[in-house]
Structure 1
Amino acid sequence: MERSRLLQCLAADYMRLREVAGAGLTAKVPTCPLWTVGDLVRHVGMVYLHKAEVMRLGSWPDPWPPETTEEPIALLDRGYGALTHEFSRRHDGDQATTWHSADQTVKFWIRRMAQETLIHRLDAEIAHNADPAPIPDDLAADGVDEVLELFVGYGSTQWTEDFEQPLAQAKGHVAEIRMLPAARCWQVQATPQHVLVTAIDDSVTTPPPSATVTGSPVALLRWLWARESNPTTDVHQPIEVKGDEEAIAELRTLLRAGTQ
């Protein structure tokens, strides 16, 4: 996605998170156990401040986090202001320390903060049983790619302690994620060393998967992040899950390891 589009989505989801949080900070967040909406908002504010400091300093800030007595929404606002200020001073390709060795650029953080904010505004909406704001298909499709390629595939090589048990227990099933109508596909397979995530298309011949998960970009993103809707407030296209139940359970375990 282009920089301007990602920043547009980031702004919209920041404002939506702020709006929904205004309904009450004490509500429990089912998708983030032990957190209230206030904890959620404070977390996002601190993430914004952290990434602003990473860019300002050119390295990971240490010590972190700073002590603050700010109210959660005030902290969120300050963090968003600091983050977008740092983005405005830099080009996409400018150097920035990140956790992805192959991408040490400002653009990485623009994408990551847009996706981070989307997921957490969904958390706030679920906490308050609020009608969800629309999720743009292009942002959702980018998020599906990010969670599979970076959080599961790359993450399994970096956060080895989180993946150690899931990889040890995995049977090596191949699960295929199919995005419609764009016809984009990824195959996910656990090996003893890491999770192999492969983007495929119709020109590539691959073994038949043990299981498939098919849906629209928005439905897939929510399923992969375990942010399914509240059925009383949120009706969207369903996910179609077919194949070996053990393969689906294995995929879910790998997703939890990468996104916890």
Structure 2
Amino acid sequence: MSTAMSIGMSAVRAEVVGMDNPRFLACLAADFARLRAVAAADLSGAVPSCPGWTVADLVRHVGGVYLHKTAAMREGAEPEQWPPEELAEEEPLALLDRAYAGLTAEFGARRPEDPAGTWYAPDQTVGFWIRRMAQETVVHRIDAELGTGQPVAPVPEDLAVDGVDELLKVFVAYSVAEWGDYFTDALAGSPGRTYLLRTEGAAWLARSGPGAFTVADGAGDGSADVTVSGPPAALLRWAWNREDPAGPSGVAVDGAPEAVAELRRCIVTATQ
């Protein structure tokens, strides 16, 4: 995914979702510590939210992501050839520790508004990666907890609301607009639908159709083909398909199954 240079979005993003870069970094640190501790308990566990992966695979993936984003900041563009073959031979927790240390050192050496290569054209800054790595880490922290059978720790409400916002706008809406061919199967037969996702203090109204997916803040007139509602952390976990397969859902979903499936296809395609 190639993008053009455009900076200055970090302040706008923080104003919209109520989080600033120090807050994202604090969440990143807390969720990394939890992920690291949980994973160390059982690297062999199967991760139900990532079929085919063990916790060791998950840890190696997160370490590789941290290294990839560190390179994107240092080199000004995301590396095209990834991952390096030698990463597969490195002990997972050692790789994770090394990668996290490098990522946070890079964040500490740069300003959030400094340029950095990203796949999201509207925000080519270090701040984009600060937000993205905070969200990446909380989702994979949940994966590690599910994979080791440990309790899922609470997700701060502001981080969860921001995570839903990022998923809908930065992943799905942007990806459909920029790489529509990838969504042909997901949207070609769409009759045109509306999706309302809402939680305490926030709501998003998405509209889909053949080759189209847009998101606006707010509930509109309150009517939609599908309504998904619940506490922030539960909504984040539902949206990212990180609910406990053995437990009850934390959200209420109201709408035709085929309409819900369309939304799910769009999310999966955008986040692969």
Do they fold alike, i.e. is TM over 0.5?
yes
Separation in structure 2 between the aligned mates of residue 217 and residue 207 of structure 1, nearest angstrom: 19
CA deviation profile, 1:102-123 (whole Å, cap 9, x unmatched): 0001000000000000000101
Q: Which residue of 2 aligns with 1:85?
A: 105
Unmatched segments (≥5 aa) in structure 1: none
Deviation of 1:231 after TM superposition, in Å, equals 4.9
Counterpart among 231, 244, 262 of residue 229 in structure 1 = 244
CA deviation profile, 1:232-259 (whole Å, cap 9, x unmatched): 6xx8x83122233332222222222222
Contact 2:154-2:233 within 8 A present in 1 as well:
no
Unmatched segments (≥5 aa) in structure 2: 1-18
Separation in structure 1 between the aligned mates of residue 80 and residue 63 of structure 2, nearest angstrom: 18
Counterpart among 153, 157, 163 of residue 177 in structure 2 = 157
Contact 2:67-2:102 within 8 A present in 1 as well:
yes
Is 1:254 aligned to residue 266 of structure 2?
A: yes
Could you say what secondary structure the match of 2:224 adopts? Answer: coil
How many pairs does the alignment contain? 252
Bigger shift: residues 216-225 or 65-74: 65-74
Q: Which residue of 2 aligns with 1:140?
A: 160
Separation in structure 2 between the aligned mates of residue 167 and residue 243 of structure 1, nearest angstrom: 17
Q: Which residue of 2 aligns with 1:48?
A: 66
Q: Which residue of 1 aligns with 2:225?
A: 210
Separation in structure 2 between the aligned mates of residue 243 and residue 44 of structure 1, nearest angstrom: 35
Separation in structure 2 between the aligned mates of residue 215 and residue 24 of structure 1, nearest angstrom: 31
- Root-mean-square deviation (CA, aligned residues, Å) is 1.7
The TM-score with structure 1 as length reference comes to 0.91
Is 1:125 aligned to residue 145 of structure 2?
A: yes
Deviation of 1:206 after TM superposition, in Å, equals 4.0
Deviation of 1:161 after TM superposition, in Å, equals 4.1
Q: Which residue of 2 aligns with 1:28?
A: 46
Contact 1:126-1:230 within 8 A present in 2 as well:
no
Q: Which residue of 1 aligns with 2:12?
A: none
Is 1:2 aligned to residue 20 of structure 2?
A: yes
Bigger shift: residues 244-253 or 102-111: 244-253
CA deviation profile, 1:29-82 (whole Å, cap 9, x unmatched): 111111111111000001000111111111222433223221011000010011
Separation in structure 2 between the aligned mates of residue 200 and residue 242 of structure 1, nearest angstrom: 18
Q: Which residue of 1 aligns with 2:37?
A: 19
Deviation of 1:135 after TM superposition, in Å, equals 0.7
Q: Which residue of 1 aligns with 2:128?
A: 108
Is 1:238 aligned to residue 256 of structure 2?
A: no
CA deviation profile, 1:152-196 (whole Å, cap 9, x unmatched): 11121234343120011222111111112x1x2111222222211
Query: Mapping of 1:54-93 within 5 angstroms?
Result: 54-68=72-86, 69-93=89-113
Separation in structure 2 between the aligned mates of residue 217 and residue 223 of structure 1, nearest angstrom: 10
Deviation of 1:207 after TM superposition, in Å, equals 7.4
Separation in structure 2 between the aligned mates of residue 159 and residue 17 of structure 1, nearest angstrom: 32
Distance 1:165 1:45, change over 3 A: same
Could you say what secondary structure the match of 1:22 adopts? Answer: helix
Contact 2:113-2:125 within 8 A present in 1 as well:
yes
Distance 1:85 1:128, change over 3 A: same
The TM-score with structure 2 as length reference comes to 0.87
